[in-house]
Every structure is written in structure tokens, then in C-alpha cells.
Amino acid sequence: MRALRLQEMSTAQGIRRARQLLRQSGYTVALTGAGVSTPSGIPDFRSPGSGMWEQVNPLEVASIYAFRSNPRVFYDWVRPSVRLIQTARPNPAHRALAEMEQSGVLQSIITQNIDGLHTRAGSRRVIELHGNLRTTTCIECYQVTSGEAVLEHLLNQDSVPSCPHCGGVLKPNVILIGEQLPFSELQASHQEAQHCDVMLVAGSSLTMEPAARLPELAKEHAAHLILVNLEPTYVDGVADVVVRGDVADVLPEIARGLRKPQ
């Protein structure tokens, strides 16, 4: 029997139904977006008044074409966010997902976030679809180096980080507009979506391709779909559970009901 329709399901009912599906699942995958990290103080892209794209044209600051023509514009734009990421701490949503993994309820996390907070919260199987800040690549000689020195440079100097090998511009290994997602991560995320019994989508508006199509792919392979988000998404109508709420409140409640008695 299909779960109650969204307009008929209270938050409490949604949480109970989510727990039921998670208990019955043999393989569960989480898909997380920017909404999982906003409670840690990291802004998302589109929220009115606070989104990272609120005052800029993303094609002019966050595309690979803009980066290659004027990397300083990108670094000036991203510097405040890097400061926030460096000081941010995992919030209850990150910790709840890590707890689910540790208890065997959750098998992997596919994330659109680049902040590394899932790993810092204790999650081990994390597929970072949009890359991370841990490494950088020179756009001239393609040498890959640790991102730690680049972040230190970025936070303390008003200049573009340069490659220690050839002097070319260093680019953080995050995916900019116009770049393809890393093949291995994209392939792994498709495999997870096709294999899972339940996909738990948390804090994602599901508007950024190709991650936005993963819930649809999971449903095509007979998975149950649980959505926890503040705003509607395009798959609300086919989801088994939709909980409209803050992930930092809802995910810990779901996890709490899944804990095994000591």
C-alpha cells in the first residue's frame, strides 16, 4: 500500500513511515544537498538574501570558462565561503547520517556538497559528486597537489595560488559550471541508485543535474524514496515519504527511532 499522500501526512507520520522503510531496507543510500550544511553556517546557492549566487552571475564567477579567463574573480568570490567551510562543524544532520551508517542502516552517502562535513562527522562511504577542497590541480601541467597549502594561501593572501612545479594557476578539485562530473563518482552514484532498496534525499532542491535525476533512477529500479527538505522538489509526487522540515531536526528524530536497545 502506497504511503499517505503529502497533504495527508504529518511530520510525525512521515518520520514513523521513514523509520519503517529504513528498518525493512536491505540497502539504503542517502543523497544530500546544500540544505544539510546550512545548519552548520554554510550558505546554499539560491536562498533569498543569503545564497551564494544572490549577488553574482554564477556563469561569471563559478564556471570553468570564467576561471580560465580570470581566476582572481573566482577566488575573490569563493574566499568568504572557504573561511566558513574551514570553521564549520558537522551539525545534527551530519551526525545522524553517520550514526545510521555505523548502525548498519545506511550503506552510503552521495553528496553534492564540497565541504567534507560528512567525513568529519564520521561517515565512511561518501561519494562526493561535486568534488572537494582536499586537493588541487594545476590547469597548465595538471599536477595534483594537496589543497591544504592552497587554502592557507587563499585565506591569508590576496592573490591567485600558483603551482609549485610550473607556476600555473591552481584550481581546487571542485566541479565548476561547464565541467563534467568525475566519471568514477558519477558511475558509483548511478550504481548505488540502481542497487538501493531505499533512497533518503536530504536537503536537496533536486535542481542541479545530473544529481537531480538519481532519485528518479532509484524509483525506476523499484526503490522506496524518502524526502526530507524544506521546499518542494520535482519528485514529491512519486515519493513514498515527504517530510517538510529542517534536516537538522528531522534526521536525528529518524535516527533516534532506529537505535537498537543497549
d(CA 18, CA 20): 5
3-class state of residue 162 by DSSP: strand
Please report, for residues 92, 143, 150, 193, 259, the alpha-carbon distance to residue 147 in angstroms, rounded to integers and kept in the order given.
27, 12, 5, 30, 37
3-class state of residue 262 by DSSP: coil
The rounded radius of gyration (Å) of the Cα atoms in the chain is: 19
The catalytic residues are 130
3-state helix, strand, coil in the chain (%, to 5): 45, 20, 40
- Please report, as a single letter, which amino acid is at residue 67: F
